[in-house]
Chain A
């Protein structure tokens, strides 16, 4: 297995393009990839390490939204939010559900190595940033020698460990649009313990209320809402039926209960090493109630 380190994105693309006949994998933090290689699930002949490519490590708030470089580590993402906490304008720039999802990943050791782009490209149905990125209407910029294309998070995943990425194509950055930087969001996961655990089920909710802000919020209809869950289907799944039930309505307990039921019906869980199908279908109702409760409660304040 050969190893190359790319100084920048262009070099990485070139190295991959020149590697005819090689089985190329791009390596970032390596927390998933090295295990899959060690266990024989993957057998690349060339690794191109993109973790040091500076243009993949930017975090920028611009007119179009928040752009997150794919090789930013999970710890760097969380740290940037912590560092910005004192500055009111910036603190809202990384949506809460994404921070909660990032914090749920692995251990401190994993979060210092692993990258957000790696979590996305590994495409595990249980990846804890995936449901948050879907509810935040994120889009992924993919680069190849032929140019770049933008793919919505929702359309990126094809199945467990399968994505629309073509050979030699790199996830460059993730954009969370301005439209979804406002509004409120939250994330929940459940596993066998709190730390260092893979989600048995996770769920993220983003919503935006109607026009009136402040005192009238409680009685203002939900203008828009997105719900997505992980580890409940071959891909992180957007739950549109539950969204429909809650869009343009003033949420009350019966409606939220109906939405929880819709969530249970819409998921397609399986039984696997981590837990059973029945448990996933049961527990997601509680997770949903909990997570939307957090969003609505925080908004009401």
Chain B
């Protein structure tokens, strides 16, 4: 069947078997391999994508169900927030975290500093906090976190844990992932809403939190 849907901000038309998994459509047909397959049965969250802004398991979703919907994959984050909102989120934050912070933490020093478009604040925060180890859960983790922050820019730890409860990580123990989401909320979104405990206080505070956990 001919599928038409919005993929990472762009109208997409693609011919596909209706019962092909959305996961396979994205990875094998459209070449977007940022979405990962873990368990293939809706238990691990590695294949999480956003459907109309809400996290869903793309391994449980037939391609036909994407018809007319808005789909966001990890590849869509830079374009969506880095380019359009880049001036206020990605660029400023990226520069700050990428240089002074990144050097200090050894985390924000990602390979794309030069030519790549700026990363989404969540991606920056995951790098800066060391919330990425093997990286397999990371795309899904970040998308679940993005869906949360888009709806709730100032979540408490319980709300972050709840939002990430469908994403398993076997490396980090979750602590740094939760801190990364807090950091993104503080730096990227909360700072724009209420300046104060945002980036400035966040930096020293973050290192203290890092020391205790």
Q: State the A residues within 8 Å of B (CB).
A: 1, 3, 5, 27, 29-31, 34-35, 38-39, 47, 49, 51, 75, 106-110, 112-113, 194-196
Contact = CB atoms under 8 A, between A and B. Distances in A.
Contact of A109 (B21, B57, B162): B57
B61 interface: yes
Interface of B: 1, 18-19, 21, 40-43, 45, 48, 51, 54-57, 59-62, 64-65, 67, 144, 147, 161-163, 165-168
Given A113-B61, A196-B43, 9 more contacts: A3-B1, A3-B19, A5-B64, A49-B65, A106-B166, A109-B48, A195-B166, A196-B165, A196-B166
B163 A108 contact: yes
A110 B64 contact: no
B26 to A, nearest CB: 15
Q: Taking each of A3, A27, A47, A106, which has the highest tally of chain B beta carbons within 10 Å of its own beta carbon?
A: A3
A195 B162 contact: yes
A34 B41 CA distance: 8
B41 A108 contact: no
Contact of B56 (A5, A112, A194): A112
B202 to A, nearest CB: 26
A106 B162 contact: no
B68 to A, nearest CB: 9
B164 to A, nearest CB: 8
A1 B51 CA distance: 24
Given A3-B62, A30-B62, A113 B56 contact: yes
A226 to B, nearest CB: 29
A113 B162 CA distance: 17
Contacts of A196: 43, 45, 165-166, 168
